[in-house]
Amino acid sequence: MKTIAHISDLHFGTDVPAIAAGLLADLQAHAPSLVVVSGDLTQRARRGQFRAARAYLARLPQPQLIVPGNHDVPLYDVARRFFAPLARYRELINPDVDPVFSDDELFVVGLNTARSFTWQDGRISLEQIERLKARLAVAGTRIKVVVTHHPFIPPPGAAGVKLVGRAALALTVLDEQKIDLLLAGHLHHGYVGDTRTHYPAAHRAIVAAQAGTAISHRTRDEANAYNLITLDREHITIAVHAWTGEAFAPLSTVSYVRVNGSWLANKN
């Protein structure tokens, strides 16, 4: 059994210190096997914001897998945005924007979906898809997780939400390679679903979990929150921990069970 703490959209520059301290305490109390950060570490990709993010991440449990988001690309510094969009991220957070974490049970691949030319929207390149396929080919029977900033599935009942570019093409590889879980952020809205609901041609259902904003005041009609995920080869349980005003506490839980290689919501 492994535990993943999935946090997203820290947005240093708009962070709330009390909430950041509460998240740190909650993560330290649960001691996850891995902390995943699905992008937007900063608000405006400024050096001071990246330094603040780096200092905060250093206090969180290890190991960690981090991917950038669109806010980690400069918006107003046009020259840097187009010619060195993730230079500060690479310098101050991690030179690898498509990182991999693996141990005896987990195989987790991060994909950078932030792009200069579509600053708010995200995209997966053809090169990334080919590299993803090669990486996953050696994952074996481990639990396979892919992390992006931009989502593969929309919120329940939402229309017009832009999903990550080339999602359908990437999902053919994710389907073939038997991915178990997709983690993302971007929308500041937490929800869980499965890919076959939105891609009916898929051969199997992959669980997709979105995290809200963890510590920023830029919330969108819901509390700051993160996902605490427990998983093994046969079960995935996603517990949303939300800020109560004093601490992070469990808000809701959804679980999935593997049936014939596909993930189905557990109705029990």
Where residue 13 sits, what CATH number does that domain have? 3.60.21.10
Instruction: Give the span between the Cα atoms of 87 and 77, in whole angstroms.
Output: 12
**Chain-wide mean pLDDT for the chain?**
93
| Residues above pLDDT 70, as percent of the chain | 94
pLDDT in tens, 48-82: 999 999 999 999 999 999 999 999 998 766 556 55
Domain that holds residue 164: 2-265
Is the predicted pLDDT of residue 100 greater than 80, yes or no?
Answer: yes
Categorize the per-residue pLDDT at 141 as very low, low, confident or very high, splitting at 50, 70 and 90: very high
Fill in the amino acid letter for 219.
T
**Strands 248-259 and 235-243, how do they pair?**
antiparallel
Is the predicted pLDDT of residue 119 greater than 70, yes or no?
Answer: no
Fill in the amino acid letter for 53.
A
Question: Residue 168's pLDDT is what?
Answer: 93
- Its pTM stands at 0.96
Instruction: Give the span between the Cα atoms of 49 and 124, in whole angstroms.
Output: 26
Fill in the amino acid letter for 91.
E
Question: Residue 121's pLDDT is what?
Answer: 84
Other C-beta atoms closer than 10 Å to the C-beta of 206 total 26
Tally the domains of the chain: 1
pLDDT in tens, 206-257: 999 999 999 999 998 899 999 999 999 999 999 999 999 999 999 999 999 9
pLDDT in tens, 171-190: 999 999 999 999 999 999 99
Categorize the per-residue pLDDT at 1 as very low, low, confident or very high, splitting at 50, 70 and 90: very high
- Does residue 40 contact residue 54 with C-beta atoms inside 8 Å? no
- Distance between start and end Cα atoms, the chain: 20
